[in-house]
Structure 1
Amino acid sequence: MRGHRLRLPAIRAARLVAAAVVAIAVTGTMTAAPALASDAAPYRAQVFTRGYDTAKVVSLTFDLDWRTGTPAENAISKANLETVLRVFAANGITGAFGVTGRFAEQNPAETKAIAALGHKIINHSYSHPDFMTLTQAQRWSQLDRAEAAFRAAGVSSAGWFRSPYRSGYLNAGLNRDLALRGFYVNLDWTFDTTGYQAAGWPVVSSRIDRYTVPGAIIVMHVTTPSTDPGNLQLIIDKLKGMGYGFVSPWQAVTRGLIRAKYLAAGGSASAFGAATTAELDATTADTAVQWFQRGRIYYSPASGTHFVWGAILAKYRSMGTVTSLLRFPVTDETAGAAGGWYNHFQGGSIYCLAATGSHEVHGAIRAKWLALGAEAGFLGYPRTDETKLTGGRGSQFQHGNVYWAKGAGAHEVHGTILAKYLSLGGMSSRLGAPTSDEFSVTVGRRSNFGHGAIVWNATARTISVIYY
């Protein structure tokens, strides 16, 4: 314990040196990760020392941890938090708070209030140790205990982390351990105001002049003796005077067309929630995907920018997303008939209805089904994926099936004729694959097959099979 305490002043001093390295881009230099399948979970957490923005905007963040102190110390720290939240609200600024688990345990109402006001919660560990002194298991325990405290307070970090003391924030092993626990965003910072050292305004002002750059992430502190809460309005006014605006941390980790799609959907207030990864290559360098709490947004030059989420995303993921036969989405999720939903993709579609679940349709079977009115037609929604059958392929729908065979094409079979066809063995029967849709004849209805036909007599209410 003595050794640990002796390290802390050195670590804090190192922060001041590291803070001057504002030329670091979005990611730090790390050794190459092993090649992974496209649209796979990141191998390491992405380190953001700055947001993606190249315009004159900054993100304001605070770190928040205090142990039970004297009543007077706790009262000052809580008043500081109230000040920060009030100043943010007065200026229309959404910030981020690196919160420790022990703070959330001791102050669940305050933790929940931060998130309720729209600010981003970051996992700042449970008890604020130096992560470079911990084993993998100890790191995971710190992350898990903090998340448990967040859940009890009704909030989540959504897989965002900030390293206590900034220790090891660029360390490849640490960022690998984070990713293995589902933490893919390591929100670092460009510079610290040093308010936590009780720095006066001249010092803070000088640091803003020296280190502010487009996309900067500025870290401040709440707990006494920090001067940041009292200086916050001055800090905001100074940045505005320098021509800077403010971008929320939710937005700082998005960019380009994916950011535009995210914001158009409502940003962090939308069904997507927070980004849980940086922007990733989806298949190749000219494609992109970004994961969010409840969805993903994809981009490719050929398909544009579209989102997939919910049950349709679950199905898409089970198939391999962009590496599957479906490839990239070409529509957003869209309302279908009878309360269902669908996404179209380059190689097919996924349709979802509560009664049938989510299923893919593609190729000639999809073309036939679409020609018959898709989910709004008499066949209704798919209730299976396309399946390999004897001599061809088939998909089942709510009110009938569509079959495909080489040379015969795709055809629907439904109702009484379908029931008889299935009782005989379907495509594996002597009849073989259908060669026509069901059509009207003098006595009723008929479907032709490769080696015969099934006729339904409407007057006699009988079904007959013809072989040839």
Structure 2
Amino acid sequence: MSAPTRTRRTGTRTRAAQAALLALAATATSVLLASPAHAADTAPYRATVLEHGYDTAKVVTLSFDADWSDAGVASVLNTLKANGITAAFSLTGRFVERYPASTRTIMAAGSKLVNHSYDHPYFSKLTQAQRWSELNRAEAAYNKLGYSSNGWFRAPYRDGYADPGVNRDLALDGYYISFDWTFDTTGYNGASTATILSRVRQYVRPGAIIVMHPGEGSTDPAALPQVISTLKSLGYGFTNPYLTVTHGAIGSKYAALGAQRSLLGPARTVEMPGTVTGSAIQWFAGGRVYYSWATGAHEVNGAILGKFVSLGSVNGFVGYPRSDETAVTGGRASQFQGANIYWSGATGAHEVNGAILGTYLSLGGTASRLGLPTSDEHSVTGGRGSDFQHGALVWNSATGAVTVSYF
């Protein structure tokens, strides 16, 4: 390795060490107290309000808010199933406690669960502590049945949904998606089917999120078949809420992996800007997807993601991923712009980079006699070194040569 390149890498490591501290802090609530200009790939400063989805094609997302009654749930689910539609259900905690069987049926249909508070108060009138109590009590009710909202929220009465303070408090409690809506059919208020269909024709737009109610007294369940047929007659199709919050290269990667049924699970955030122009990051329940013009879109998950974040994520020397996580001899690996990260249950996750990585790969990588790395690259006398299951590689700062040792 040439001296100028080596000097660059040493400087990058200093910055990576600083970035790693920021990335580790992102796992704590305190990181959310930073200014909006914090480094890329840290927790959002406020929840993002979605009044419509990102898809600009003629598709809509159906959603249902339930609190006081489950009277129309079975009818709604039957209609959705008959039309092959996946919907979002915003459920209060007390609904889930009162109607566990209906909740299980809703979730068994593949619906996206959205936290709708515990008992449907006006959020703008609550203190921060009260807001968090509402969110956490509802989440506890979901968790008791084995479900999670994964940080999605919908404001009761649509009260305070655009309030910066409310959305700041949501983010402070780990709720980064405020899943709002484009228009309400008003079936909850007993609107006639003709009125409901008139509102559909008047307010529908590409990407619209439509809210309805399945409770006792609502006319939405009975009108739903005609709502669907009317939308189809207008040339609209239906997307599922898991895809509603994704788009572009990251959305395509997510869909290709299997969307919510993949190891990524539901989105935790909307797409966020990365460190270079045109780059983007999105967090999911089971991992993250990174995109840049130079690398494309790739997922990172599990222990490899943990190591990546500890090294500064995209703010550090490792850069953006150049591959999804793949199987290698003895474990798993992800390739990045500035390093490879390897993992196995026996060795943990470790990075290998620079000239040491070049030599390691030339020897056969994980399939070589060296096996998997057991350390990150570290300082040794006269240079840098990486340890492996059956040996070590040492880079000499004077010669740029890499020495191979087996044991």
- TM-score of the pair, normalised by structure 1: 0.78
Q: How far, CA to CA, are the matches of 2:143 and 2:114 in structure 1?
A: 13
Amino acid at match of 2:141: A
Following TM superposition, where does structure 1 have runs of at least 4 consecutive aligned residues deviating by more than 4 angstroms?
none
C-alpha contact 1:53 1:214 (8 A) present in aligned 2: yes
C-alpha contact 1:348 1:366 (8 A) present in aligned 2: yes
Residue 64 of structure 2 aligns with which residue? 62
User: What is the CA-CA distance between 1:219 and the residue it aligns to?
Assistant: 0.2
Q: RMSD in angstroms over aligned alpha carbons?
A: 1.0
C-alpha contact 2:70 2:99 (8 A) present in aligned 1: no
The SS at the match of 1:59 is strand
C-alpha contact 2:70 2:216 (8 A) present in aligned 1: no
Amino acid at match of 1:234: Q
Matches within 5 A, 1:261-340: 261-338=253-330, 340=331
C-alpha contact 1:303 1:329 (8 A) present in aligned 2: yes
Amino acid at match of 1:343: S
Residue 147 of structure 1 aligns with which residue? 139
Is the aligned partner of 1:39 residue 2:30? no
Amino acid at match of 2:163: N
Q: How far, CA to CA, are the matches of 1:344 and 1:360 in structure 2?
A: 10
Residue 111 of structure 1 aligns with which residue? 103
Residue 395 of structure 1 aligns with which residue? 386
Structure 2 unmatched ranges of 5 or more: 1-34
Q: How far, CA to CA, are the matches of 1:185 and 1:289 in structure 2?
A: 15
User: What is the CA-CA distance between 1:170 and the residue it aligns to?
Assistant: 0.6
C-alpha contact 1:60 1:218 (8 A) present in aligned 2: yes
Give CA deviations for 1:96-150 in whole Å, capped at 9, x if unaligned. Answer: 0000011111222221221221110000000100000100000000000000000
Structure 1 unmatched ranges of 5 or more: 1-32, 67-76, 416-468
Residue 99 of structure 1 aligns with which residue? 91
Residue 247 of structure 2 aligns with which residue? 255
The SS at the match of 1:169 is coil
Q: How far, CA to CA, are the matches of 1:374 and 1:202 in structure 2?
A: 67
C-alpha contact 1:112 1:154 (8 A) present in aligned 2: no
Give CA deviations for 1:422-467 in whole Å, capped at 9, x if unaligned. Answer: xxxxxxxxxxxxxxxxxxxxxxxxxxxxxxxxxxxxxxxxxxxxxx
Is the aligned partner of 1:369 residue 2:360? yes
Amino acid at match of 1:391: G
User: What is the CA-CA distance between 1:199 and the residue it aligns to?
Assistant: 0.2
Amino acid at match of 1:374: G
Amino acid at match of 2:216: T
Is the aligned partner of 1:245 residue 2:237? yes
Equivalenced residue count is 372
Amino acid at match of 1:210: Q
Give CA deviations for 1:143-175 in whole Å, capped at 9, x if unaligned. Answer: 000000000011110000000000011110110
Is the aligned partner of 1:156 residue 2:158? no
Residue 31 of structure 2 aligns with which residue? none
Matches within 5 A, 1:55-94: 55-66=57-68, 77-94=69-86
The SS at the match of 1:222 is coil
Matches within 5 A, 1:376-415: 376-408=367-399, 409-415=401-407
C-alpha contact 1:108 1:152 (8 A) present in aligned 2: no
Amino acid at match of 1:273: G
Q: How far, CA to CA, are the matches of 1:123 and 1:110 in structure 2?
A: 16
Residue 226 of structure 1 aligns with which residue? 218
Residue 206 of structure 1 aligns with which residue? 198
Give CA deviations for 1:352-386 in whole Å, capped at 9, x if unaligned. Answer: 01100000000111111111111110000001000
Tell which structure's C-alpha radius of gyration is larger. 1
User: What is the CA-CA distance between 1:79 and the residue it aligns to?
Assistant: 4.1
Q: How far, CA to CA, are the matches of 2:386 and 2:396 in structure 1?
A: 12
C-alpha contact 2:72 2:221 (8 A) present in aligned 1: yes
Give CA deviations for 1:1-42 in whole Å, capped at 9, x if unaligned. Answer: xxxxxxxxxxxxxxxxxxxxxxxxxxxxxxxx6311111111
Q: How far, CA to CA, are the matches of 2:277 and 2:362 in structure 1?
A: 36
Amino acid at match of 2:386: S
Which one of the candidate residues 315, 339, 349 is aligned to 1:348?
339
Q: How far, CA to CA, are the matches of 1:178 and 1:254 in structure 2?
A: 20
The SS at the match of 1:78 is coil
C-alpha contact 1:112 1:155 (8 A) present in aligned 2: no
Amino acid at match of 1:198: G
Residue 29 of structure 1 aligns with which residue? none
User: What is the CA-CA distance between 1:62 and the residue it aligns to?
Assistant: 0.2
User: What is the CA-CA distance between 1:92 and the residue it aligns to?
Assistant: 0.2
> Percent of aligned pairs with the same residue?
53
Q: How far, CA to CA, are the matches of 1:364 and 1:170 in structure 2?
A: 51
Matches within 5 A, 1:173-192: 173-192=165-184
Matches within 5 A, 1:2-17: none
Amino acid at match of 1:158: N
Q: How far, CA to CA, are the matches of 2:91 and 2:36 in structure 1?
A: 32
Q: How far, CA to CA, are the matches of 2:381 and 2:43 in structure 1?
A: 37
Residue 426 of structure 1 aligns with which residue? none
